[in-house]
Amino acid sequence: MTWSNRQKQSAFVLILVILGIGYMSLKSNPDSPEAAIEAAIDAMIEGAEAKDIDPFEDHVSPSFRDESNRPKDDVLRIVRAIFLRHPTIAISKVNLDITSTTNPAVYDARLLVLTGEGLLPKDKAEFYLTFRQEQGRWLLWQAQWGDGYGY
């Protein structure tokens, strides 16, 4: 079988795509702090859209404090109030930057989302989050909500 130039080029491009996918899968470690933190954030976003408080209870540290020094229980009450206030909640993650700190058990995250009550979220919200490793899990430890609280 002889291959035309077009077939050779297509095969070469396909090989490059396969190698790229392989490289990216090796590069992304599902056990990394970044992957665990992103999974926790995604679970809380899904929980908010489903009006389910459980992901917040699971992924927020018992020693949590927000920018106003409110503890976990107070913030969970605010989240419940948001659930009651809004008939539907839609959240679209626009950007998530996770960075390590000088302490290997602490990571910072900057989360930018669009929120709303309809199918197309339109209100921008920015969150500055700090996650800490506690008993082998990455839990939300501190947060600055800015204008993104939504209540």
Is 22 or 42 the better-scoring residue by pLDDT? 42
Amino acid, single-letter form, for residue 36: A
Angle, vertex CA 132, rays to CA 127 and CA 137, nearest 5: 115
Please state, in angstroms and rounded to a whole number, the distance separating the CA atoms of residues 97 and 86. Answer: 28
Question: Domain coordinates of the chain in residue numbers?
Answer: 32-144
pLDDT reading at 116 higher than 90: no
Q: Report the pLDDT value the prediction gives residue 41, as an integer from 0 to 100.
A: 97
Instruction: Note the pTM of the prediction, 2 decimals.
Output: 0.77
Q: Rounded to the nearest 5°, which phi and psi values hold at 145?
A: -90, -25
Please state, in angstroms and rounded to a whole number, the distance separating the CA atoms of residues 33 and 104. Answer: 9
Q: What is the pLDDT of residues 65-97, one digit of tens each?
A: 999 999 999 999 999 999 999 899 999 999 999
CATH number of 32-144: 3.10.450.50
DSSP code of residue 119? S
